[in-house]
Amino acid sequence: MILPKIRDPRFITIRRGGSLTDDDHHLLALWAAGCAEHVLGLFEAARPGDLRPRRAIEAARAWVRGEMKMMEARAAGGHAMGAARDLRGAARHAAYAAGQAAVVAHVAAHELGAAAYAIKAARDGAGDAAARQECQWQRDQLPDAIRELVLDDQRLRNDICWSVFEC
């Protein structure tokens, strides 16, 4: 499990009693989609005909644009994670990253799941140096508006995210 036992109110939308604005929720989803897309080739090399992870990434972006309902994006995320079930290694983690990106529409804190699985995919695909490079690439992509929030989330949840955010 990569979600904390106690939900951080910074990742709960204002309308649900937290402090997360819709704009920042959207930025988290877009960042997560970018993280997943960055390693998607590792999945597609193993399963070139399986579009579920790509569709999940597209669903995250469609949700941000208001073209898809949250429940549809969440379902697409589940389908992407289903694509991972019988795989191992980098391809499996890349599919999970895509699934986690899509479910950010439902629970914003899944943003770190997309990033963590992408780093694990990079590590399994090319080693520890590639994982550190992926982690740094992700940080370089963070919009200023959510940068401190995500970096603090990485610090707080690094232990339950396989310590992948040490880059």
Confidence label for 136 from pLDDT (cuts 50, 70 and 90): very high
Mean pLDDT of 13-20: 96
Cβ neighbours of residue 76 closer than 8 Å, sequence gap 6 or more: 52, 55, 56, 58, 59, 102
Confidence label for 77 from pLDDT (cuts 50, 70 and 90): very high
**Per-residue pLDDT, 55:** 98
pTM over 0.95: yes
b/e code 104-131 from CB counts within 10 Å (16+ = b): bbebbbbbbbbbbbbbbbbbbbeeeebb
Confidence label for 154 from pLDDT (cuts 50, 70 and 90): very high
**Per-residue pLDDT, 1:** 60
Pair of tokens at residue 138: 């992700």
**Tens-place pLDDT, residues 23-36:** 999 999 999 999 99
Q: Rounded to an integer, what distance in angstroms lies between the CA atom of residue 108 and that of residue 58?
A: 17
147, with CB counted inside 10 A (0-12, 13-18, 19+), is: middle
